[in-house]
Amino acid sequence: MNSGDIIASRYVLERPLAKGGMGAVWVARHLELDALVALKVMAPEHADTFFARDRFQREARACAQIQHPNVVAVHDYGVADDVPFLVMELLQGEDLQTCLAREKRLSLPAAIAVILPVCKGLRRAHELGIIHRDIKPSNVFLARQGDDTLVKILDFGVARITHEVSGQTTHTGVLLGSPSYMSPEQARGRRVDHRSDLWSLAVVLYECLTGRLPFGARALGDLLIELCTEPVPPPTTITPDLPAVVDAFFTRALARTPDDRFQSAEAFAEALASLRSGMPNLTIGPPDVRERDPSMPEVSLSQTPPPTFSPTAPGVATTIGLSRPRAAKLALGIAAPVVLGLGALAAYGLSSPAEPLETAVAAPADPISSRPPESPAPTASVSPTPAPSATPTTPESTPSAAPPPVASAETPPNRARRAPVKRPSPPPPVPSRDPTFGF
């Protein structure tokens, strides 16, 4: 292939853009639309192999089905002069591998800003049953669009499309992908699912934050052994300025058992977003054995609802701890007036006999005391003359009749001294007594 060659009668090659073992990428111009595109042409020496042709077709088919802003767009696919070609959108910028070679490593916010769009693109691919199987820095492109940077996923050449039976040339035991970024199950040649892409994405993030890979063996055999058996060094031991919660994130993201990892690209992205906001997500811890529905929100331990109790009417407390203070206040509000009322009644009952007695006796005592002591008034009080008036009050007058003889036997000074307290009166006190209480 040379500059000026025309492919499929509509694309003219202008300059080479990149070259690999399977072929080359050229900047080409669409003759009718006068638009620049990226044209990927298979190397002639591989054009006759079924695997290479199937890889081109798989990449074109996968990208055409995804149609996501974070996945490179494919415009055309065909065969010209028995050589397959693939037409994609032309991107301006650099891939993540070139960026890391220059910057060595990225800050946590910058790394998250790169990985989050990849999560979005992978989520769309996984929803369509497409597994990339080769996520690595060289397949993550940082495209410049004016003043913005748009992250794009490249190269679905080894992707696995789970809903298609035809065109699947890979079988168990075949090693596909880049060993440094592949998952343990992929390294063992086993069938993989979308969680293998999430492992590879975690390795890319690890490299962005630490400037190195979690497994650094150079020989392929040693690398595969490390990948399947050796523990992952915590990122904070390499980059101490990272927050400690990053270690917990990678403990789950790089779990060797797929069931222990993040179960979806959405869950992976949510955990990343929590790292960026400084609020670690509880889903970083050990996951449930069963896969959680990504549409359901995560619930922290602090949001766990209290134990349920028997339903009650609206407005009624449902726990003992809540009803006890209200019951105590209600009882106190009822008991206090009752106690005060009973106390007032008791005080009234104790004080009422003395006060009426003193008043009733003292009222006639003044005129009696004004009489001479020698008057026959005491004698008249026991004479039978007032008997008719005493007849209706015989039960009440009986106890009061006993004191008069004693009083008459006493000396006048003693009688005068006791008169204000207990001295009975002649007939006038009888109508003043209260028949209810008997005083």
Both structure tokens of 62: 């996968």
Strands of 93-95's sheet in order across: 93-95, 140-145, 148-153
Amino acid at residue number 365: A
Q: How many CB atoms within 10 Å of residue 232?
A: 19
Q: What does DSSP assign to residue 94? A: E
Residue 123 · residue 132 · CB < 8 Å: no
Amino acid at residue number 135: I
CA distance 407 to 394: 20
Helix (H, G, I), strand (E, B) or coil at 381: coil
In whole angstroms, what separates CA 397 from the centre of its chain? 87
Backbone angles phi, psi at 366, to 5 degrees: -65, -50
Residue 88 · residue 38 · CB < 8 Å: yes
Both structure tokens of 252: 């789950």
CA distance 316 to 5: 85
Degrees (nearest 5) of the Cα angle 143, 149, 151? 60
**Could you give the count of Cα atoms lying within 13 Å of 421 in the half-sphere of its Cβ?**
5
In whole angstroms, what separates CA 93 from the centre of its chain? 40
Q: Which residues are catalytic?
A: 134
CA distance 258 to 261: 5
Both structure tokens of 351: 């004080």
Residue 159 · residue 132 · CB < 8 Å: yes
Helix axes 108-127, 50-66, angle to 10 degrees: 100
